[in-house]
Structure 1
Amino acid sequence: MAHWKNVFTRIASNADDKFDKLKFRLRQRLNQLGPVMILPYRGFGNANEIYLKGRVLKDKGILTAEDNDTVWQNLLATYKRFASVEIPHVRVRAHFAGETQEVVTDKEGYFEVRIKPKEALPIAQAWHEMELELLDQVDPRQEVVKATGFVVTPTIGSQFGIISDVDDTILQTNATSLVKAAQLTFLNNARTRLPFEGVAAFYRALQSGPNSSLFNPIFYVSSSSWNLYDLLVDFCIVQGIPKGPFMLRDLGVDVGQFIKSSHHNHKFDQIKLIMETCENLPFVLIGDSGQHDPEIYLEVIKTFPKRIKAVYIRDVSQDIRDASVQDIIIKAKELGVDMLLVPDTVAAAKHAAGLQLIDPEILPDIQAEKEEDEQAPSPVEQIISGE
């Protein structure tokens, strides 16, 4: 059985590659590759090394979402995101902290930059700029193609980091229901999607720490596609959720596996990369019970002993799932880590205040924001969500 699965995967991967090459050559012959854009994803690092991922794509002109966007406009924007035209095998030059590196995009237009600055980065500065420039001519009408990427590093005032899931943790997606998840993905935008109640205030409190004056970096790890990156960034801006790098997933076909990486493997690998890069920081982990966050986080606790301060799991699943989550909670406790299955953000915030992870005086603000978020959605939101 495994043999035939590998054969099928190899055939699917080869077919996918050949089809992409044919499409690219046709567009190239018809001069339909431009305009071209560099899309840098937020990166991260430490004082000695930084990492940034990005992609070179045809610019399809996806506009910033508005409150009154129609369902058709949202559907069209989502189609443009997933029908991306990647630019493979072109050179991108990166400038960062006096260092220059040249990288080449892979077959799907992705590139990765890893730079070790000769001079240590400022210990009081959290965000740093990276200048990117496309070196190859892709379209006859192409002018200079540049972009600015941003990289976050812990500062001298960082006491811990926060790693958060996205779907059903900060963003209501109903990931356990394929129909509802698809409806939210394709018919909503950054302004009509709803956050979980009080999450923005809680995350701001975690970022500020126990005396409200620190900077604790936040990372978002999700199995969502990279094609949704701009939507997730806009969502956090609109909702006032602290900015941080997003670690998303390529959903293409590859040799050896039908999907690039499984939900479990992807999330664990990205968390491992974050924690190995920010090697001097302990972390708070936040997720939900709908998929496999408790199992993944238990593995993280085992892999990085004494590096996890607390784990908060939002209870979004049926009661039958709660029993298995409770077993994992017991195992985490035996390893010296509090993993809580919480009904809402306020419960997590109260525990965090008790551990001196956040300022207790902010608890009323988190409660107030939770109550405000719980207010009934507008008529437009009700129509869009089908309620």
Structure 2
Amino acid sequence: MAVVWQFAIIELDKKTLFTGVILEEIPFVYQKQISKFQNLQKLIRSYFIQRAINQKITIRIGEEKVQTQTDKYGSFFVAIDNFKQNPVSITLSDDFPLEIIQKYPIKFKNTSGTFDVISDIDDTIIVSYSANFYKRIKTLLTNSPKDRSVVRFTSKLFEVFCKKNARIFYISKSESNLFNMLTTFIEHNNLPKGSLILTPYLKFHELFLSKKGKDFKINYIRFILENSENKKFVLLGDDSQKDLEVYTIIAEEYPIRILKIFIRQTNKIRPKSHGAFWKKLQAMEIPTKYFKSMDDVGEEINLF
């Protein structure tokens, strides 16, 4: 029986984004603490679930119908104008509403805050060891979400952002298979329940073939900025992958929209490949902070 996974309705100033994945069976959902072996077993199984690929779907919003189609990964992405807070359902060709499998929020309303936050996930809110492939895989496979470590600085900074009525957009190159693991971690650590934008739901063999380029993040961040009027944004990431490069490109394209950029240093030494991007950011005079520990950013929190 097909189900809807990672469904989100993200309200922006100009458009409302509907995004999600259609799977052919129900994936595992964390409901209680599980053992390391169970975590390994459930996670691996998620990469063998079939996706509803290239299928026509109908999104019903009250009496209105929006037609779209899933892609080769079972994902859909559609933006509509003038969204009204009506009941929403999703159907395939048989016109029977699909079950939405998640306890995490679906609707993410706009706020009246003067700025919003775009945050990475791995090594930005959750310690993932992204720079070390074997350590990252071991941590992912053996540690359940409630056993994973939170990045303390990010947790403290989010508390300040929420008081300013800023909402969080989590944009990560983690695949959709990890959606429930990540949302369980967010809820367990009392982090803001922001919308998650993840890369496609993968089959096992695609883990070794899929290339998650920086364009994925850039395109989604552009979409959010271009449909958010003149609201400013804080960009939060780390130096284990391409956050610094992505945020530099975004800052060059939207310099007056970027309020501040935070980059967490994940190793003892900063990657040499990041030097050119760091210099570009400094030349643009956009407020930036490349930090290593909570002690490096204590004063920064008081500036918001």
TM-score above 0.5 = yes
* Aligned equivalent of 1:145: 98
For the residue of structure 2 that corresponds to 1:63, the secondary structure is coil
What is the percentage of aligned positions where both structures have the same residue?
Answer: 21
User: 2:179 and 2:191 mapped to 1: Cα distance?
Assistant: 15
User: 2:72 and 2:278 mapped to 1: Cα distance?
Assistant: 42
RMSD between aligned alpha carbons?
2.7
Query: How far 1:252 moved relative to its partner?
Result: 5.7
User: 1:113 and 1:219 mapped to 2: Cα distance?
Assistant: 17
* Aligned equivalent of 2:285: 336
Query: How far 1:232 moved relative to its partner?
Result: 0.9
> Aligned pair count?
297
For the residue of structure 2 that corresponds to 1:169, the secondary structure is coil
Query: How far 1:220 moved relative to its partner?
Result: 0.9
Query: How far 1:304 moved relative to its partner?
Result: 0.5
* Aligned equivalent of 1:239: 189
Structure 1, 39-48 or 280-289: larger mean CA deviation: 39-48
Q: When the two structures are superposed, what TM-score results if normalisation uses the length of structure 2? A: 0.87
Structure 2: 5+ residue stretches without partners: none
User: 1:41 and 1:291 mapped to 2: Cα distance?
Assistant: 26
1:179 corresponds to 2:134: yes
| Cα distance change on mapping 1:84 and 1:277 into 2, 3 Å | farther
User: 1:98 and 1:49 mapped to 2: Cα distance?
Assistant: 19
* Aligned equivalent of 1:196: 151
* Aligned equivalent of 1:310: 260
User: 2:298 and 2:233 mapped to 1: Cα distance?
Assistant: 15
1:88 corresponds to 2:53: yes
The structure carrying a bigger helix percent of its residues is: 1
**Structure 1 counterpart of 2:3, from 37, 60, 63:** 37
User: 1:97 and 1:251 mapped to 2: Cα distance?
Assistant: 28
Within-5 A mapping of 1:103-122: 103-117=68-82
| Cα distance change on mapping 1:350 and 1:59 into 2, 3 Å | farther
The structure carrying a bigger strand percent of its residues is: 2
| Cα distance change on mapping 1:132 and 1:334 into 2, 3 Å | same
Structure 1: 5+ residue stretches without partners: 1-34, 122-127, 210-214, 358-387
* Aligned equivalent of 1:32: none
**Structure 1 counterpart of 2:44, from 79, 84, 108:** 79
* 8 Å CA contact retained: 2:21, 2:74: yes
* 8 Å CA contact retained: 1:65, 1:189: no
Query: How far 1:196 moved relative to its partner?
Result: 1.1
Within-5 A mapping of 1:1-387: 35-67=1-33, 69-96=34-61, 99-117=64-82, 131-137=88-94, 144-147=97-100, 150-155=106-111, 157-209=112-164, 215-250=165-200, 262-319=212-269, 321=271, 325=274, 327-345=276-294, 347-348=296-297, 350-354=299-303, 357=304
* 8 Å CA contact retained: 1:49, 1:115: yes
